[in-house]
């Protein structure tokens, strides 16, 4: 998109909002109170607020390549800390999408330069689920399943954080794993059974999730 067009679109957006509510921006500037933290992919086709039908102020959003939640990523960890501790969101969503270039790149052995350390986290997900993935003959089906398993593992990484554990104990908070299907436009709830998954690693982590 041409940069000049961006500012033209912004002016139109302002007028559209004011035509409905003359105090729209006055109210917007007073602060935010989102109920939802959305962690998604930076892919330009996956616009978080639009696909969920959210207005400004309704969702706190963090996006990166392949919707990763890495313990050493201070950016993502700071977003989770702020959203949970200070904004007191009630739900956290990790949303992947079919057609994810990051997941696809992680399935290949080619050198991706600076991306290598990041993709290694996804490759670890593949390694953890190698038996299941190895049984899938169709390449596209295997790729889609890795997208889903990556969402699952990133949800677990969210649940592992101390701030989420504390919030779960004191006020209740729920983590959700979703996938966005680019071909249909649908959001798919993976309905991940966290209790079953977490029960297998309780010897290492003390984790709780409804």
pLDDT 10s digits, 102-160: 999 888 877 788 888 899 999 999 999 999 999 999 999 999 999 999 999 999 999 99
Q: Which CATH code fits 31-199? A: 3.40.1050.10
Q: Active-site residue among 62, 100, 168, 176?
A: 100
Residue 97: active-site member: yes
43 an active-site residue? yes
45 is annotated as an active-site residue: yes
201 pLDDT tier (thresholds 50, 70, 90): confident
200-203 long-range CB contacts below 8 Å, 24 or more apart? none
pLDDT tens digits along 168-196: 889 889 999 999 999 999 999 999 998 88
Q: Kindly list the domain boundaries of the chain, sorted by start residue.
A: 1-30, 31-199
- How far, CA to CA in Å, does 28 sit from each of 17, 89, 141, 157, 203? 11, 18, 43, 32, 46
Please state the pTM of the whole predicted model.
0.93
């Amino acid at each position: 998109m041409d940069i000049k067009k961006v500012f033209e679109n912004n002016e139109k957006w302002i007028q559209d909002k004011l035509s409905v509510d003359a105090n729209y921006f006055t109210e917007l500037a007073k602060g935010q109170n989102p109920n939802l933290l959305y962690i998604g992919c930076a892919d330009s086709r996956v616009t978080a607020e639009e696909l969920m039908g959210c207005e400004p102020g309704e969702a706190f959003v963090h996006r990166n390549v392949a919707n990763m939640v890495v313990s050493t990523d201070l950016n993502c960890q700071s977003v989770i800390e702020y959203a949970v501790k200070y904004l007191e969101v009630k739900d956290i969503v990790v949303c992947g999408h079919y057609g994810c270039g990051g997941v696809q790149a992680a399935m290949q052995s080619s050198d991706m330069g600076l991306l290598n350390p990041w993709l290694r986290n996804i490759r670890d997900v593949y390694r953890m689920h190698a038996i299941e993935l190895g049984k899938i003959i169709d390449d596209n089906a295997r790729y889609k399943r890795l997208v889903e398993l990556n969402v699952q593992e990133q949800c677990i990484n969210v649940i592992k954080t101390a701030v989420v554990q504390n919030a779960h104990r004191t006020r209740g908070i729920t983590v959700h794993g979703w996938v966005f299907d680019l071909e249909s436009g649908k959001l798919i709830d993976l309905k991940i059974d966290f209790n079953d998954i977490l029960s297998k690693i309780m010897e290492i982590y003390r984790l709780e999730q409804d």
